[in-house]
Amino acid sequence: MRSDLLVRLLPFTVAYAVIYIASSRSSWLGLGPGNLTAQLVFAAVASPVMFGAAAAVQLWLTRRRGALSVPAGPDDAAFQAGFYALNGPIEEGFFRGIVQGGLTALWAAPAGFAIGAATYVLYHRLGRWTWADTFATALVGLPLGLAYWLLPGPPSLLGISIAHIAATCGFLGPGPYLLRRMHLV
C-alpha cells in the first residue's frame, strides 16, 4: 500500500490540487457539497447496493478463477477499509472531477462521461488487474459517472466518493473477508 500512496494517490492528489488552484476553484471539479440532500440520499442508497453487488461480483469471479485474496483477519480488513476510505475520494477527484468534469466543461456532458468512465475502467488494468476484474470496475465507474453528471445541483464528489468506498470494500478487503467468514468461498 505504501507504493500505492506514492505512485497513484499522491500524484492524483497533487494533480487535483494544481488544477483546482489553476482553474480558480471551478465547480466542475466537484469539491463543494453540491445539493447536500441529494448527495447524502444517493450515498445512503448506493453504498449498501454497491457493497453487496461488488461482493457478489467478487464471489462470482472467485468461483471462476478458484482463488481469492482475503485479509488475514478483522484488523487487516479494517486497515484495508481505512485505506479505501482514502483511495475512493482521491480516485473520484481525479477521474470524475478532473477527467469527467474537465471534459464536460470543455465539450459536452456525454463525451466527458464516456471518456471519464472508460479512463477509470482501463486505469485499473495498469495495476495488473485481470481483464475480468478490470471490466468489473465498470459496474462502479458507470453508475458513479452518471451520478456525478445527473445528480441535482452543482457537481459534487461527496456521494460518489462514499459509494466508491463501499464498492471497493465489497470487492477487496472487507467483502472477501465476509465471504470467507460466511463460508461462501
Count the residues in the chain: 185
| 157-177 per-position pLDDT tens digit | 999 999 999 999 999 889 998
Q: pLDDT of 58-71, one tens digit each?
A: 999 998 888 888 87
Give the separation between CA 100 and CA 156, rounded to whole angstroms.
12
pLDDT above 70: residue 147: yes
The pTM of the full predicted model, rounded to 2 decimals, is: 0.93
Query: In the prediction, which pLDDT does 75 show?
Result: 87
What residues have CB less than 8 Å from 180, skipping those under 6 apart?
68, 70
Scan for cell 458513479, then name that residue. Answer: 144
Which set of grid coordinates corresponds to residue 83?
Answer: 485505506
Share of the chain above pLDDT 90, in %: 62
Model confidence at 1: pLDDT above 70: no
Mean pLDDT value of segment 124-140: 88
Q: What pLDDT digit, counting tens, does each position of 93-122 carry?
A: 999 999 999 999 888 778 999 999 999 999
Q: Give me the pLDDT at residue 152, please.
A: 96
Averaged over 7-31, what is the pLDDT?
91
What confidence score (pLDDT) does residue 24 get? Answer: 87
Are 157 and 128 in contact, with CB atoms under 8 Å apart? no
